[in-house]
Chains A and B, each alone.
Chain A
Amino acid sequence: MRKLLSIVLLAGFIFYFATLTGGLLIPSNSSERSSVGLDILSRTANETGSANAVTSVVVLYRGFDTLGEVTVLFLAALGISVFMKSTSKVRKRTLDQSFILKTGSRLLFPLMFLFGFYIIVHGHITPGGGFPGGVIIATGFFIVLLTSESVEFNKTLMSVLEGLAGLTFIGLGLVGLFGSGNSFLQNFLPLGKFNTVFSAGIIPVIYAVVGIKVAAELSSVVFAMKESK
């Protein structure tokens, strides 16, 4: 009975989606391209100094949406740590895994940290940015945390780092509001030479802050879920 009802509902959805998305994709030889995208592409090299147009959209043109995304991630991490609060005083430590896993993870950790750092710092020149870089650093952290016994996870340091990074993001935006310019998250640092690391004003600073926040947050979330009660 349940399967029949769900198949009928899904047939209705298929019909609705087919008529909805049928006219959504624009064929390649039509002249109706989106004008917002073309406008942003023509302005991004001169106004922002960043070579990656997606980065300039995420940080500068739609920077408020990124602030909202950081808030949503923070709320999800808050909810998970409230649910996974351990009630006993005795903490069960991570057991030591086999020798190959232990040594291999310790060898892999500096490489992953360096790779994540590279992706964060070069966010305005090559594809990448703060979010995937932070995720790669968090993956490097919990490869080590899940396999060795003698590595302590410093929870207070992680939450202090996360809070400071979030405050720095809002602080940089407020400097643009009350300082030299007149809008929140304005680009007030000098635009350097195009296509180098020290260019594009405020963009690498904000992406570095976002990367630190995402890495600290996600590693505390996974560690809170893993700890048994």
Chain B
Amino acid sequence: MKSVRIAGGLGFYGDSWRPIRASIERGNVQYVASDHLAELTLAILQKDRLRDANLGYTRDLVPMLLDLLPLALPRGIKFVLNAGGLNPLAARGALLNALKKAGIKLNIGVVLGDSVLERLDDLQAAGVSLAHMDTGEEIERVREKLLFASAYLGARPIVEALDAGADIVLTGRVADAALFLAPMVHELGWKWDEWDKLAQGIVVGHLLECSGQATGGNFGGDWRSIPDLAHIGYPIAEVWENGEALITKAPGTGGRVNFDTLREQLLYEVHDPAHYLTPDVDVDMTTLRMEEVGPDQVRVTGARGRPAPQTLKIVAGYDDGVMGQAMIGYAWPDALAKARAAAEIILEQMREIGLQAEETLVEYIGYNSIHGPLADERHVEDLNEVYLRIAVRCADRQEAAKLGRLFPPLALSGPPFIGGAGGMLEPRGLLGIWPTLAPRELIEEYIRVSVEES
């Protein structure tokens, strides 16, 4: 029976591509599919693009491919990446230049049409409310502050590019798992109404889209039992025509693939496991089976699919103020009490200088900065050290920066025994996320696919 082998690439912009080398060299794969886009990433890319119209894609694309292509080309391996971000054409331009310089000839496909920021008026005119899909709030409050709006596309346009001979496909926003489903549909000839096969394909894509999280990274069980995370292998899938799949990793790599590491990733961020909605299929994971069939080998079968939804999800981002933050550390004895006294000083001085903050957060690193109000208070009396961190949400950078300037005087005029007082951090722009839905035909009529040779 025909099968295809696909390697998981990056899990986010900033992830390491070193483990992909092992998958290419020793994983016997035909494709690498790589996810570079989180919700926050598009805001970063929008800032890049506003500064320079030739940017707006994830800039790891060119160095990553220049590193991997010498290994991948002799093996005929193809790439599917959403590194196009908000500007897939500019991403292709940059890649074409780099490949020409390197003397590499390849066909590069792009998928366009996910960015709908300029078409929001048209969508509203067509009767789409663009209301927040979780809260139902109307979009007017944030409409003028929107920085980007991108629809999650499915696998079809990527398949179109592969069918047209693309060796590398660059997309903007697509459902992460669609990056993986596309090569399966292209190679195995699945039809768009073979829901159970498509569901298996999405499950495999979801298992592979977060790099090391499928192979023992961020493992919430017995993390000490996972070997050699320094050389973790990223996940690899073999998928057969009938939809059955085997998840594994390259021989000689660290990490682990077993029932436990995979079930953690399978349910990661899926909400209702009986209805994992993607543009290509509504996936039911509650019928799925995972069996360990060998060392670092798990067979995945039995996902069920229902027809694809009539709407596509759009995620828009809007300017939501600026965060100012600062930190200072206090030593034993009474470290937490000192940090609390310092917080009182700062909060009082914030009031006196009239610092305009829409929200103020006080955290004690070493005590409650991660679990917040759920932190266990039974062990706080004798801590070796505690850092005070204060963060504020302000309307602009100038206002946010006022917080940091209140901290240095604490060194000489606050409670004793400090360390790490250089904690004045640059104010950082904050991004509100606006998820909404639109009828798919209103989005899909604008999808364009093109393939160009380097």
Query: Are A and B genuine complex partners?
Result: no
